[in-house]
Structure 1
Amino acid sequence: MNLTISGHHLDVTPALREYVLTKLDRVTRHFDQVVDVNVLLTIDNQKEKDRRQKAEVTLHVKGRDIFVEHCHEDLYAAIDQLMDKLDRQVCRHKDRMQDHHHESAKRQVAAPL
């Protein structure tokens, strides 16, 4: 898994990097076929203070790219809620990728009674 954490108008401190890594562990625990992860942490110079800090993740898995973003007044809260969204999307993608075909009744071995 390739991981890129970058900041826009922000220095990515070791504490922020470690926080993002611990939150990403939850996602990779559910789905281990992650190829590439790009995390972008941004501080915008908007007038409204409550939506100033933004976190974005682009997750490349086999067959699809998953993009999630979230804005909040606190960067750590934005990362928390971002990872919640990402976790839901990864679980939904995993459910879709599972094989839902069942073996036919003729091919099944009868269980002894």
Structure 2
Amino acid sequence: MNLTISGHHLEVTPALRDYVLAKLDRVTRHFDQVVDINVLLTVEKLKEKDRRQKAEVTLHVKGKDLFCETSHEDLYAAIDELVDKLDRQVIKHKGRVQDHHHESPKRMNGAVSGSA
């Protein structure tokens, strides 16, 4: 798994890097087929009192790319929201990938009409 953490108008400190790694550990525990993760942390300076911290992630799994972004006044809160959203997307994707053992409705109807 490749992990890239970068900052825009922001220096990514070791504490911030460790925080992101700890949060992304939850996502990789739920789904282990993650190929690549790109995290971008941004500070938008609209006005001095209206500073917005933005976090976005692109997660590449086998066959699909998942993208999330959030913004908040606190960067750590934005990362928390981001990981919650990403975790929901990963669990949904995992369910779609693993849910291929049921009989399709098309085949069920064909079997019923074929036996009559």
Name the structure 2 match of 1:49.
50
* TM-score (norm: length of structure 2): 0.84
Aligned length: 102
Kindly report structure 1 stretches of 4+ aligned residues shifted beyond 6 Å.
none
Name the structure 1 match of 2:83.
83
Q: Which runs of 5+ in 2 are unaligned?
A: 104-116
Shift of 1:102: 4.3
Name the structure 2 match of 1:29.
29
Shift of 1:23: 0.1
Q: What SS class does the counterpart of residue 45 from structure 2 fall into?
A: coil
Name the structure 2 match of 1:93.
93
Determine the C-alpha separation between the residues in 2 that align with 1:25 and 1:92: 17
Q: What SS class does the counterpart of residue 6 from structure 1 fall into?
A: strand
User: RMSD of aligned C-alpha atoms?
Assistant: 1.4
Shift of 1:99: 3.7
Name the structure 1 match of 2:106.
none
Determine the C-alpha separation between the residues in 1 that align with 2:96 and 2:102: 15
* TM-score (norm: length of structure 1): 0.86
Determine the C-alpha separation between the residues in 2 that align with 1:81 and 1:99: 27
Q: Which runs of 5+ in 1 are unaligned?
A: 104-113
Shift of 1:85: 0.2
Identity across matched positions, percent: 78
